[in-house]
Structure 1
């Protein structure tokens, strides 16, 4: 499903950051856009920065159900600061939108990407829920069983033909070489 990504620019709170950028919303079914201004409120401006495709995969339904069970069901927008260009107008490249909190967490590991949590509109939440319920399969828990063999009865070095006497089990290799010479 195509999702329009809405980024909000507000005045910075320090002299080092002229503006603060956040992902404010998603627009399900949006058409293509390239930093189109949607709304202005004083100095705050909202842009339809990009339209990306939200892809759902049957193997990740557990992650989708986890996102839907949160207090506020959310999608995650992954962004990266642009190199060069006008940092005031479009300082971020929108890379990905995902409904999986596990995938979003993977992107936070490097520290290069910015991951923002954005509330899902009700229609999008229903679409993700329907997909997850249709394709979700619970994994059967299989408890591992121990071998019947008793490994605690074995004494290290006993029965090894390379070891001459029990005192040699803990002997230093350097001492052993001197004794053999």
Structure 2
């Protein structure tokens, strides 16, 4: 378990658990006339060490490669336990990996990994490519233990709407005019 070194006073609310994950990216010859390659996240490697760009080739075959493209920190936050719970309720639980093109546009580089269903969904808006991969059992156990230790149910509180009265609003229901409902008074 790792406390956030930035501000010890806010550490309990911020990142408190991290795990390095190697991201394995598959590059496959594309059948599309607009792209030479298709990219997807093939797997994660829990506890992987750092890797230098362009990554380390793990396996290859005719028209495809699997490369350990990056090692990213999976960060668990107390404030995201609801997103982790939602993910753990799915079969199977998944990790979301955000891929971006490299500077030359020749490869897709992993830049973020998350176990939060809410955060993963948030990345799906925009130009990033978001891939999911099944969460390995040992990471599922880690996330489940984290949620068990830190989740706090927050009761739903319906907010009461404030009424805004116009000077000509004599009914209090938002309509203008007098008691008979016509005109401006």
Band the TM-score falls in, shorter-chain normalisation: 0.7 to 0.9
Name the SS for the 2:184 alignment partner. Answer: helix
How many residue pairs were aligned? 156
Decide whether the 8 Å contact of 2:43 with 2:133 is kept in 1: yes
Decide whether the 8 Å contact of 2:176 with 2:183 is kept in 1: no
One of 109, 114, 127 as aligned partner of 2:142: 127
Q: 1:108 to 1:152 in 2, by over 3 A?
A: farther
Q: 1:168 to 1:12 in 2, by over 3 A?
A: closer
Q: For residues 71-104 of structure 1, what are the alpha-carbon distances to aligned partners after superposition, in whole Å with 9 as ceiling and x for unaligned?
A: 111100011112326x1xxx11211000012111
Q: CA RMSD in A?
A: 2.5
Q: Where does residue 122 of structure 2 map in the other structure?
A: 106
How far the C-alpha of 1:6 sits from its partner, in A, is 0.3
When the two structures are superposed, what TM-score results if normalisation uses the length of structure 2?
Answer: 0.75
How far the C-alpha of 1:145 sits from its partner, in A, is 5.9
Higher helix share: 1
One of 81, 99, 102 as aligned partner of 1:61: 81
One of 65, 81, 86 as aligned partner of 1:45: 65
When the two structures are superposed, what TM-score results if normalisation uses the length of structure 1?
Answer: 0.77
How far the C-alpha of 1:62 sits from its partner, in A, is 0.8
Name the SS for the 1:56 alignment partner. Answer: strand
Identify which of structures 1 and 2 has the higher relative contact order when contacts are C-alpha pairs closer than 8 Å and 6+ apart: 1
One of 42, 45, 67 as aligned partner of 1:27: 45
